[in-house]
Amino acid sequence: MFSKILIANRGEIALRIIRACKEMGIRTVAIYSQADRDSLHVRFADEAICIGQASASSSYLNIPAVISAAEIADVEAIHPGYGFLAENPHFAEICESCKITFIGPTPENIRLMGDKMLARTTMHKCGLPIIEGSASIIKNKEEALKIANKIGYPVIIKAAAGGGGKGMRICHNDITLASSLMTAQAEAEANFGNPSIYIEKYIENPRHIEIQVLADKYGHAVHLFERDCSIQRRHQKLVEESPSVAVDHKLRKRLGEMALRAVKTIGYVSAGTVEFLLDQNNNFYFMEMNTRIQVEHPVTETVVGIDLIKEQIRIAAGEKINLKQEEIKINGAALECRINAEDVENDFSPCPGKIETLNLPGGPGVRVDTHVYPGYTISPYYDSLIAKLITHGRDRNEAIQKMKRALEEFIIEPVKTTIPFHRQLMNNALFLRGEISTHFLQDMLKEKIEAEVQ
Ligand code: MV4
């Protein structure tokens, strides 16, 4: 096992990783930007090194600065958290060449899954269902029109180097397809440095179901069931839950088997997530694989009782996974609400500023992962996520009741947050019935606007 780890991240996830390390007897090194001097990850780590100015590009994304800190502190491993350098194959390679263990998958795993078209064909070859669409990158307009007419409209254009919803375009006919093609390519080139695009049949009102996996260096892998992440706004998840009301025992088994097949096919190592779209007829399709620990990992930790960060660290240290698939069980239901410093009334625009009053909820079945405290100033430089509120009940209804109660106790002033939105959501009839899809939020917010107009 490692004796010292550097955490190449900030905010709640840096704290989360420090907590796991402390419980494992591993010393921790925090890195921080000048904007984060007063952060709790700096305070709770055994050592802390300032690596640059506030902007992410000069600090948390600055590979030479991160590696220098790791060399100076003489750590054996780096945990990248999520975001920043977590899915940068180049960074994982540099760690390797410096004899520092990257706590995550191999650079090859990251690179393969980072290419969405390659991921799609690789998964198709090993028998995972994929959405009907192009077999390779689109070469020209004629080819695009031919494929679209073969599969039928609506279709969706995706960037091969994209993912997470960035650079997607929905087209309903030949005319919009022809014009969207050029702009999608230009956008992909500008955003990802790669103009490659491909086409899929567009699935309307799908659910976003993802399977958590763990795989060790010896080819042993387990899945930890699903999370339903359908409640999103502009590809930002706001609520996640496990289990999904749309997944029955049989479907759960199939999804788990498919996720493990994906993992075994590519020789995946570490914690990861295989994303699927579930259509209205309960057909599922492979979407992409996230080669990192995810924001919503506590939902799974809560229902299965497994510490995913500790597992990641053990796997990276070369330990075998000490879990048997048949012994992993879903206990009750868990729900996570993302508390962002955003103004819901103003198109969810970020609202940085100083927290004067803070009351965190507590009591049975309530977990809060946060780095904020009274007097903390939320920086405009980073993500607006300031807390994750997770509740655990015997069933979905109890988890919702606990969430309602915890949201009432949660006070953050004067900063605007998504708390009022979540309070409203917990009373939404469709949400309460579990009738959610990736369009749910758009519809709910639209209804609200229409209600105001009347
Ligand atoms: C789709 C789709 C419909 N049909 N692909 C968005 C994120 C990326 N992982 C894939 N995404 C989608 N791909 C086809 N062929 C709809 C979405 C999508 C979506 C997916 C999951 C969660 C929220 C979403 C919101 C809008 C669109």
| Residue 289 alpha carbon to ligand 1 centre in Å | 13
Q: Could you read off the pLDDT of 397-450 as tens digits, one per residue?
A: 999 999 999 999 999 999 999 999 999 999 999 999 999 888 888 888 877 655
Query: Which DSSP symbol is given to 327?
Result: G
Say how far apart CA 262 and CA 122 lie, in whole Å.
Answer: 9
Looking at residue 58, its pLDDT comes to 97
Tell me which DSSP letter residue 171 carries. E
Neighbours of 232 (CB within 10 A): 18
Is residue 292 annotated as a catalytic residue, yes or no?
yes
Q: Quick one: pLDDT at residue 309?
A: 99
- What residues contact 131, with CB distance under 8 A and at least 6 apart? 200, 201, 203, 277, 285
CATH code, 207-453: 3.30.470.20
Please state which architecture CATH assigns to domain 4-103.
Answer: 3-Layer(aba) Sandwich (3.40)
Provide the angle, in degrees to the nearest 10, between the axes of the packed helices 63-73 and 89-97: 30
Instruction: Considering only the C-alpha atoms of the chain, give the largest distance between any 2 of them, rounded to a whole number of Å.
Output: 64
| pLDDT one-digit tens code per residue, 290-313 | 999 999 999 999 999 999 999 999
Q: Which of 161, 2, 17 is nearest to 80 (CA)?
A: 17
Which pLDDT score, from 0 to 100, does residue 454 have? 38
Give me the pLDDT at residue 391, please. 99
Nearest CA to ligand 1 atom 12: 165
- The segments of the chain whose pLDDT lies below 70 read 448-454
pTM: 0.96
In the prediction, which pLDDT does 445 show?
A: 83
What residue spans define the domains of the chain?
Answer: 4-103, 132-201, 207-453
Report the pLDDT value the prediction gives residue 314, as an integer from 0 to 100.
98
Is the Cβ atom of 206 under 6 angstroms away from ligand 1? yes
Q: Which fold has domain 132-201?
A: Dna Ligase; domain 1 (3.30.1490)
Radius of gyration of the chain (CA): 22
> Which amino acid is located at 277 in the chain?
L
* CB-CB contact of 29 with 73 (8 Å): yes
Question: Closest residue (by CA) to atom 16 of ligand 1?
Answer: 203
Tens of pLDDT along 154-206?
999 999 998 777 779 999 999 999 999 999 999 999 988 899 999 999 999 99
208 pocket-lining for ligand 1 (C-beta < 6 Å): yes
Check if 203 has its Cβ closer than 6 Å to any atom of ligand 1. Answer: yes
